[in-house]
Structure 1
């Protein structure tokens, strides 16, 4: 029996990108997908586009929410799949056969993960994320930065909890770490699984997001080790930009 995957898309006033995201889910070759779309009561035509595909959705909610993670919790509460994947508006599942290949990579994983390709607002590829996915992933793996994006991680629903609404920008890090801590079989699919549109809420509120991320990582790894880890993060970031500048010169 194929595991059921609940794909959840959160959207608010994103008429430009919503159809592209939805079609990346609806055009999957994998047959056992439950698709849930949660809209924050959009007023720009987004709802009308979603309505075109309503008969192919398991659930569609359009109502005001208390922010992105409240909306994600609404989707999670409706999910009945063995696994959950968040593919928010603007992002895409990598290719039509991606979900089939993810579940074919190994049986009965607690978590499946892969690589993410970055795209700009004109949907031009920027290549791989600065943090490539680690060969082996566990709850210690975010010590030096978030090296798996939430669009690239399929988590067994029984291991998930609601997102912590005390965090406004980085609750997905806390959510993934919590699930990873309770996982014993984490599968690297060794493939690109998601396309990510750069410039989400955590980029727009960058400093607040970084402070919140520091707080979350201190909770998991301890304050002093986290300070030391962030020295290495800063050094790695500096090296990355120096290398990047040289290749562009």
Structure 2
């Protein structure tokens, strides 16, 4: 039974933090280390966290230099065999999810699955537009981020700290680096996470897209990345046209 470290990053999210905490603590899988990194919240978030302090492995509440700085603090404290980031507002899919992930295949470097999207009223929007690929490797992001951060379990020994020069898309860089070191990546063929839409990368969409373009160019080359983005634009146009017809 491998040990899983789940890391939750939160700042002033008293409305959603309890849902996230419960989704971790209610797992049937018992070998979980839970770390919460709070950015010195002032809205009552810490009072909610304190209710569960006896069941949370480590709690840090202090100012940080942004989300990836906070994630690096969590990584530095982690002792598990695998890492999962489940940020405030998101949930592990159901109570058996972690058990099902590790039961799917022993000893993988990376496990990944599907993500269900939820709106601000916690109503399901269905599966992400980018469906998780049947097979995944470090080149799989060339047509977009098709595995979400909340839906990927990575062996801690192949992770590195997040690159803080990226403010909105460092998670893509982080996953690609780990995938390049992986020899065994397993698709668990199930939903593993519920994701609250509208995070930082959505609020700063243009900046996030610029960073993604830089990251993809670094790994895939500038010219192939430009060609891939033409395909992405075409796929996006087809997706919206198809769904507009469906809605009409």
The alignment partner of 2:59 has SS state of: strand
TM-score normalised per structure 2: 1.00
Give ranges in structure 2 of 5+ residues lacking alignment: none
Deviations 1:124-169 (A, max 9, x none): 0000000000000000100000000010000000000000000000
Report how far residue 244 of structure 1 moved: 1.0
1:18-48 superposed Cα distances (whole Å, 9 cap, x missing partner) = 0000000000000100000000000000000
Secondary structure of the 1:61 match is strand
By how many angstroms is 1:248 displaced? 1.1
Aligned-pair CA distance for 1:216? 0.3
- C-alpha RMSD of matched pairs (Å): 0.3
**2: CA distance, partners of 1:165 / 1:140:** 22
Report the counterpart of residue 195 of structure 1 in structure 2.
194
* Secondary structure of the structure 1 residue equivalent to 2:73: helix
Equivalents in 2 of 1:60, 1:170: separation in Å? 25
Task: Tell me how far apart the structure 2 counterparts of residues 141 and 98 of structure 1 sit (CA, whole Å).
Answer: 24
Gaps of 5+ in 1: none
Distance 2:243 2:49 in 1: 40
Aligned to 1:233: 232
Deviations 1:198-229 (A, max 9, x none): 00000000000000000000000000000000
Q: Counterpart of 1:184?
A: 183
> In the alignment, which residue of structure 2 is the partner of 1:32?
31
What is the aligned partner in structure 2 of residue 52 from structure 1?
A: 51
Give the count of matched residue pairs: 248
- Please list, as runs of the form range in 1=range in 2, the aligned pairs for 1:5-84 lying within 5 A after superposition: 5-84=4-83
| 1:218 aligns to 2:178 (yes or no) | no
TM-fit CA distance, 1:247: 1.1
Correspondence for 1:88: 87
